[in-house]
């Protein structure tokens, strides 16, 4: 009985490694944050939504988006969080960005890193 890997196993490994290499070169946008429209802040508070940071119960006022490469998913993913002013400022300081004061949702289709 031959226990050496067959050509099929080698092909699978080659394709997996190739996909991982391509993912490393895919553009990942810089994180962004923006303030939520005041009407939405009131609506979120009425619905009982609170800051998504651990153990924080302040009302939601800022939305944050952060992108990263996922080798498990094989693509770039985005995380959206709704946070209070304090945690929004901490996010902005961590990534050296400014919180935009636009109620419009940024386009996911805007290509490349900004």
Residue 4 has pLDDT above 70, yes or no: no
Q: Quickly state the pLDDT bin for 42 (edges 50, 70, 90).
A: very high
pLDDT of residue 2: 56
State residue 45 phi and psi, 5-degree precision.
-65, -40
Q: Quickly state the pLDDT bin for 114 (edges 50, 70, 90).
A: very low
Q: What is the pTM of this model?
A: 0.68
pLDDT of residue 19: 67
């Amino acid at each position: 009985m031959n226990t050496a890997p067959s050509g099929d196993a080698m092909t699978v490994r080659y394709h997996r490694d190739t996909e991982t290499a391509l993912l490393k070169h895919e553009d990942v946008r810089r994180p962004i944050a923006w303030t939520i429209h005041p009407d939405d802040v009131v609506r979120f508070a009425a619905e009982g939504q609170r800051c998504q940071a651990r153990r924080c119960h302040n009302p939601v006022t800022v939305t944050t988006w952060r992108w990263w490469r996922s080798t498990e998913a094989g693509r770039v993913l985005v995380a959206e969080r709704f946070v209070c002013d304090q945690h929004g400022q901490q996010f902005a300081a961590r990534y050296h960005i400014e919180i935009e004061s636009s109620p419009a949702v940024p386009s996911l289709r805007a290509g490349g890193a900004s």
